[in-house]
Chains A and B, each alone.
Chain A
């Protein structure tokens, strides 16, 4: 597709359940970022993938969070045993090669009840 695609756009779940969020990047963009944005707050970096290199996981807030990127394309962010404080918009972005120019998806809004 022409842009970064994320699914689901909205997810409501119960505390303790696992959720998976998906990101389809722009074709040819090898760098992919996940960010989290709580209401009225800035972007919180979570994880970064670049080609076949080991991902930079330094932003993941706890071991309940994990992400993978298969074949250098689609990425999945998984949150296990969700907590209410996990409620936020999760944004995926891909980077025009080594430029720092990011293209964001529309985000996945997660609500944990």
Chain B
């Protein structure tokens, strides 16, 4: 059974601080990883993806991947109240629906 685990939260972070969201996965065949942001009452939107070990930066967001530890994280620098949302982690080992696994999400709250 392929699993992607996330702490459901809520994770509360003061405005301006760094928010750190973590995800672990069970399938060593997973090749690519995705972070989706879902605002309350809205559908998920892709914000970052990462394929290689190490860090990938995009603006205030940094995705980190450690395949040896089967660990993925998302850092949000200079957190803003508009970053308050649920963040879904997903892993993909290819092969269609069977290869794509979503975590249940972490609810992030940025306190003004």
Of A59, A91, A106, which one neighbours B97 at CB under 8 angstroms?
A: A59
Among A57-113, those with CB < 8 Å from B are 58-59, 91, 98-107
Q: Which of B36, B97, B99, B105 has the most CB of A within 10 A?
A: B97
Report the interface size class on chain A: 20 to 34
Report the interface size class on chain B: 20 to 34
Instruction: Name B's A-contacting residues (CB within 8 A).
Output: 32, 34, 36, 42-46, 49, 88, 90, 92, 94, 96-100, 102-105
Top 5 A-B pairs, shortest CB-CB distance: A100-B92, A48-B97, A42-B104, A104-B43, A56-B97
30 A-B residue pairs with Cβ-Cβ distance under 8 Å, sorted by A, are: A41-B104, A42-B88, A42-B102, A42-B105, A43-B44, A45-B97, A50-B96, A56-B96, A56-B97, A58-B97, A58-B98, A59-B97, A99-B49, A99-B92, A100-B32, A100-B34, A100-B49, A100-B90, A100-B92, A100-B99, A100-B100, A101-B49, A102-B34, A102-B44, A102-B100, A103-B46, A105-B43, A106-B42, A106-B43, A107-B43
